[in-house]
């Protein structure tokens, strides 16, 4: 499972012209799922993200987590994070999990994240053409792969 985490001043997800999620200070998290992902990946990644110290403390040092700053979050499924660009110029998405596997894992990720975080989060809609808007704060963008825990 891959996650792209962006610290934002604001972010939103719009589907067919309607805003379905909107946050202020917090994290926009894009999630890419592969067929080999399991509950263990979800547990590890949700704990890692909710405790990731990417917000500034009173000294301007990134020393506070999403929980510490009482921030907000949006979780968006994005199969293109699993793209392979090894051959040719057209990305291959063969590693991305099919919907019958990815949807339950994405939904479980949302539930586990809310449990770990302690409050509701915004989401996109799986398999839908979404418009994601954000103001990246910093900019701070971090990529985490649950298969690489070193």
Q: Domains (ranges, CATH) in the chain?
A: 2-145 (3.50.80.10)
pLDDT for 53 equals 98
Does position 150 have pLDDT exceeding 80, yes or no? no
Does position 79 have pLDDT exceeding 90, yes or no? yes
Cα 129 to chain centroid distance, Å, stands at: 17
Cα 16 from Cα 141, distance rounded (Å): 27
H-helix or E-strand spanning residue 139: strand 131-145
**Confidence band (pLDDT; 50, 70, 90) for 100?**
very high
pLDDT for 108 equals 97
3-state secondary structure of 30: strand
Going by DSSP bridges, is the β-strand pair 26-32/18-23 parallel, antiparallel, or unpaired? unpaired
**What pTM did the predictor assign?**
0.95
3-state secondary structure of 64: strand
pLDDT tens-digit readout, 18-64 = 999 999 999 999 999 999 999 999 999 999 999 999 999 999 999 99
Cα 120 from Cα 20, distance rounded (Å): 14
What residues are annotated to the active site? 80
């Amino acid at each position: 499972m891959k996650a792209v985490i962006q610290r934002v001043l604001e972010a939103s997800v719009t589907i067919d012209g309607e805003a379905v999620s909107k946050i202020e200070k917090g994290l926009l998290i894009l999630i890419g799922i592969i067929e080999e992902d399991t509950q263990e990946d979800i547990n590890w990644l949700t704990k890692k993200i909710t405790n990731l110290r990417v917000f500034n403390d009173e000294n301007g040092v990134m020393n506070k987590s999403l929980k510490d700053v009482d921030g907000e979050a949006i979780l968006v499924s994005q199969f293109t994070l699993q793209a392979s660009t090894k051959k040719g110029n057209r990305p291959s998405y063969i590693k991305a999990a099919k919907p019958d596997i990815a949807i339950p894992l994405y939904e479980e990720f949302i539930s586990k994240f809310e449990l770990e975080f302690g409050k509701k989060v915004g989401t996109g809609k799986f398999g839908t053409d979404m418009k994601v808007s954000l103001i990246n704060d910093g900019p701070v963008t971090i990529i985490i792969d649950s298969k690489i825990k070193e």
